Structure 1
Amino acid sequence: MAADRTPTPTPRAACRSWRSRSPRSTRTIPHGWPAATATTPWSATPQYREPLRGRAGVVDDASAVFAAFPDLRVEVTYQAVDGPTLAAEMTITGTHTGPLALPDGEYPATGKPLRFEMAVFSRLGDDGVIVDERRYYDVAGQLEQLGLSG
């Protein structure tokens, strides 16, 4: 007999927590990315030299994104679930109207729109929460759109 597991989140369901504008949101959807991460997960993200560590690292990252792009929209264009692995392709859009915190410093709002594609691969633990995640997107392209490259 299979062990009882927390229902597996889908990438589309997880993105609903982003739409709520609260990285800590668990009321809107029980499986938002930050809310569904283990207390000691890691997330490999292109703009950081080191992976995000722990739920607090994921929540802090989400908070920084919301501060820089309060109108952020996430559209899942493809998703797949295979056992403990979630995969998703997404289109991210928003307007840079708040300070953008990056590893090399903070950038003031440019007022420019941003649109980029992103792929995310997450692995769930037995309790249904994300234990590790890899995110793929074009950081240089984002900086160019915002007028922050070069």
Structure 2
Amino acid sequence: MHDHPNVAAVRSALAAAGLDTGVVILDEAVHTAAAAAAALEVEVGQIANSLIFDADGDPLLVLTSGAHRVDTGKVAAAIGVARLRRATPEFVREHTGQAIGGVAPLGHPKPVRTLVDVELERFPVLWAAGGVPRSVFPIGYADLVRVTSGTPTVVA
């Protein structure tokens, strides 16, 4: 799993951003924030869920606290789109190169517009997916915003 192309892309993107953080490979896949939090023995709010939405046909990555549900109406209004809906697995893979359950906030074939939940800022350490459902990495809020070129936003 350490050699998986998606994990390698995430490692490379982290290194290119000047972050010396490792990608952790868990014993089992963690497809939900609750499962990731349990495996890491952290609060569910510390999990930075990477959710891809279809924003009028364009991809939108919302990095939200595992303790939140994204308010699609609020987010659509904030970014000025008529319709924001959960993306299909095919749409996610097309725009990130990764499968749902392991979508990382970086390491995609090309940049994806990104919003970062302001609630994540209250945690000193966040955990994000590392490109496959068994991989995660630690990161601080400011670094998460920086490496994703994300916009801090109220999303819930």
Point out the structure with the larger strand share: 1
TM-score range, shorter chain: under 0.3
The structure where helix makes up a greater share of residues is: 2
> Which structure is larger by alpha-carbon Rg, 1 or 2?
1
TM-score, with structure 2 as normaliser: 0.26
